[in-house]
């Protein structure tokens, strides 16, 4: 890892113990946060498939939410993260559930495992923050035997405006996480370069999650998103996107 990369906010922000301890509540607390978590868990389970006995690497595991979910299903899970503070929370949570998860410090840009070491490699809420997202996708694909699952905010969604606002605030010294958005085509090209092809995409919401959280009503979220989906807007502008890709036969 270069020193310049280590200075990137995605390393310094999550190295804060307070950020680590409050991360799950901030992201998944309240009725809408619980809805987001449940939907994410269902999509992840469907894309990963049967977990019993399979080896899975969770790159950027953070507080271990996805790793714990998969370990509950009998998977042999390794969780990797650059933040010892986030891993400390993950270890505590895994211990509370008596789950044997290998939680290790490491960098998503240079994963210290051999080629095709795991049946599946996953990464959630990482690409949007990482300094070199193409390198992270390449590493995900390299260590996976045949399947990768990851997510990203869509460039054709309302996330584009939010990402621009956050980037501007960050440049002015504001305490916020800037992030990038992605086109499907750019993601597809990066996967193709690694010998993988997209099998499925799940788009979660049309309205920004921040809007749903501000309103705080499951009923509003369910009704509004159902109507927007019927209007064809979910397929057009839904975000975040969770993607399943598989290794091409010849790679």
Angle at alpha carbon of residue 144, lines to 141 and 149, rounded to 5°: 70
| pLDDT tens, N- to C-terminus, the chain (251 residues) | 444 566 777 788 788 888 889 888 988 999 999 999 999 999 999 999 999 999 999 999 999 999 999 999 999 999 999 999 999 999 999 999 999 999 999 999 999 999 999 999 999 999 999 999 999 999 999 999 999 999 999 999 999 988 888 878 778 777 677 889 999 999 999 999 999 999 999 999 999 999 999 999 999 999 999 999 999 999 999 999 999 999 998 76
Q: Phi and psi for 111 in degrees, rounded to 5?
A: -75, 125
240 upstream amide cis, omega within 30 of 0:
yes
Q: Which long-range contacts (CB under 8 A, 24 or more apart) does 129-137 make?
A: 129/9, 129/10, 129/177, 129/179, 129/180, 130/10, 130/60, 131/5, 131/8, 131/10, 132/5, 133/180, 133/182, 133/190, 134/190, 134/193, 135/109, 136/59, 136/108, 136/109, 137/187, 137/190, 137/191, 137/194
In sequence order, the 6+-apart residues with CB closer than 8 A to the CB of 12 are none
Environment class of 114 (CB within 10 Å of its CB; exposed 0-12, middle 13-18, buried 19+): exposed
Distance between CA atoms of residues 113 and 168, nearest Å: 37
Decide if 242 contacts 47 (C-beta within 8 A).
yes
60: DSSP letter:
T
Domain ranges of the chain: 3-247
Q: What is the CATH number of domain 3-247?
A: 3.40.50.150
Dihedral sign of CA atoms 112, 116, 122, 123 in order = positive
């Amino acid at each position: 890892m270069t020193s310049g990369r280590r200075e990137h906010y995605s390393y310094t922000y999550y190295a804060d113990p307070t950020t680590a301890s409050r991360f799950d509540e901030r992201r998944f607390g309240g009725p809408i946060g619980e809805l987001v978590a449940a939907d994410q868990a269902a999509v992840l389970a469907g894309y990963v498939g049967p977990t019993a006995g399979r080896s899975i690497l969770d790159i950027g595991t953070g507080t271990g939410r996805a790793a714990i979910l998969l370990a509950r299903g009998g998977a042999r899970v390794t969780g990797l993260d650059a933040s010892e503070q986030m891993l400390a929370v993950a270890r505590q949570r895994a211990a509370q559930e008596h789950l044997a998860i290998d939680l290790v410090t490491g960098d998503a840009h240079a994963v210290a495992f051999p080629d095709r070491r795991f049946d599946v490699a996953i990464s959630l809420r990482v690409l949007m923050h990482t300094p070199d997202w193409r390198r992270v996708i390449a590493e995900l694909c390299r260590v996976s035997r045949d399947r990768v699952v990851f997510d990203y905010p869509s460039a054709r969604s309302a996330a584009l405006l939010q990402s621009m606002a956050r980037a501007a605030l960050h440049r002015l010294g504001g305490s916020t996480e800037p992030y990038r958005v992605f086109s499907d085509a750019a993601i597809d090209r990066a996967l193709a370069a690694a010998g993988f092809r997209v099998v499925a995409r799940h788009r979660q919401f049309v309205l920004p999650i921040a809007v749903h959280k501000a309103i705080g009503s499951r009923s509003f979220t369910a009704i509004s998103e159902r109507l927007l989906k019927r209007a064809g807007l979910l397929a057009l502008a839904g975000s975040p996107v969770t993607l399943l890709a598989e290794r091409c036969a010849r790679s």
